[in-house]
Amino acid sequence: MSKAITIAEAQRYDAHTINEIGIPALVLMERAALATFNNLLNDDFDLSRVIVVAATGNNGGDGIAVARLLHIRGIDVEIYLLGDPAKATPQTAQQLKIANYYHIPFTTDLNHVVNATLIVDAIFGVGLSRNISGKFADAINAINAADAKTVSIDVPSGINADTGEVMGVAVVADSTTTMAYNKIGLLTITGKQHSGTVHIADIGIYAQDHLEHAR
Ligand SMILES: NC(=O)C1=CN([C@@H]2O[C@H](COP(=O)(O)OP(=O)(O)OC[C@H]3O[C@@H](n4cnc5c(N)ncnc54)[C@H](O)[C@@H]3O)[C@@H](O)[C@H]2O)[C@H](O)CC1
Ligand SMILES: [K+]
């Protein structure tokens, strides 16, 4: 079985890749988005009306970049944005700027989530730190009430990636594209029930960089 990591390890490997190796965070985000995009195409989903539900952390940034990749190919895609864009991470703020350049439509109508043919869940990844309530919970309930298939980015939003615990409410995905390594919480019974088919995406983040053949 392939390696699975904790939230702390994911965060440490990300930081090492960005700060010590020097691969820019936006490059990693683009690779995360491309990997997710490829899985959307390969898994043969109905892409007639796609909605990306994104928050303003880096998980949301991955999702906004996926929306752009779809939009550029002529696919009907909208973004349902949760949280305050003024508080977005630098990478996610940049993704929002690019999305605006391409005039990707934003919606504030949860009915568009319910009526989509495919939902991309980019609300929370390994940064989830407390129980989910309010608008975030409403969006997750709408995702789960929709007939559409759902693809989660990195972690089904609401699942604690260390324990598999549901943090109040959690997305039930058909497929999850998780970055670099599987997460130990996704191997628990609840984790598996919520993540569906897990695709592990190589985005250039490795647990060890002292591979002799790599340097
Ligand atoms: N770091 C990288 O280089 C890469 C990360 N990738 C993706 O980024 C996420 C992790 O991003 P991060 O910004 O650390 O966290 P999240 O987006 O998961 O969310 C954090 C955000 O949400 C707030 N928050 C936490 N819990 C709650 C809650 N219950 N209700 C409301 N708000 C909440 C928190 O305060 C933060 O503001 C990772 O999973 C990847 O998807 C890329 O893969 C590229 C490389
Ligand atoms: K997610």
Contact 181, 5 (CB under 8 A): yes
The confidence score (pLDDT) of residue 214 equals 57
Pocket test for ligand 1, best of 128, 138, 140, 182 (most atoms within 8 A of CB): 128
CA–centroid distance, residue 122 to ligand 2 (Å): 4
pTM (2 d.p.): 0.97
Pocket test for ligand 1, best of 7, 81, 89, 124 (most atoms within 8 A of CB): 124
For the chain, the domains span 4-205
The confidence score (pLDDT) of residue 6 equals 98
CA–centroid distance, residue 215 to ligand 1 (Å): 31
Q: ipTM score of the complex?
A: 0.97
The confidence score (pLDDT) of residue 213 equals 54
Buried b / exposed e over 75-88, threshold 16 CB at 10 Å, is bebbbbbbbeeeeb
CA–centroid distance, residue 79 to ligand 2 (Å): 14
CA–centroid distance, residue 74 to ligand 1 (Å): 28
The confidence score (pLDDT) of residue 208 equals 80
pLDDT tens digit sequence for 87-97: 999 999 999 99
The confidence score (pLDDT) of residue 42 equals 85
Weakly modelled stretches of the chain, pLDDT under 70: 1, 209-215
Pairing of strands 149-153, 197-201: unpaired
H or E element at residue 203: none
The confidence score (pLDDT) of residue 1 equals 58
Q: Where does residue 137 rank: exposed (0-12), middle (13-18), buried (19+ CB within 10 A)? A: middle
The confidence score (pLDDT) of residue 209 equals 65
Residues contributing to the annotated binding site:
58-62, 121, 125-131, 154, 157
Residues contributing to the annotated binding site for K(+):
59, 121, 157
| Domain 4-205, CATH class in plain words | alpha beta
Name the maximum alpha-carbon separation found in the chain.
53
The confidence score (pLDDT) of residue 211 equals 56
Can you spell out the DSSP letters for 83-121?
Answer: S-GGG--HHHHHHHHHHHHTT--EE--HHHHHT-SEEEE
Ligand 1 pocket, 179 CB below 6 A? Answer: yes
Phi-psi region of 133 (alpha: psi -120 to 50; beta: other; left: phi over 0): beta
The confidence score (pLDDT) of residue 210 equals 56
Q: Reduce the secondary structure of 33-93 to three states and give it as a string.
A: HHHHHHHHHHCCCCCCCEEEEECCCHHHHHHHHHHHHHHHCCCCEEEEECCCHHHCCHHHH
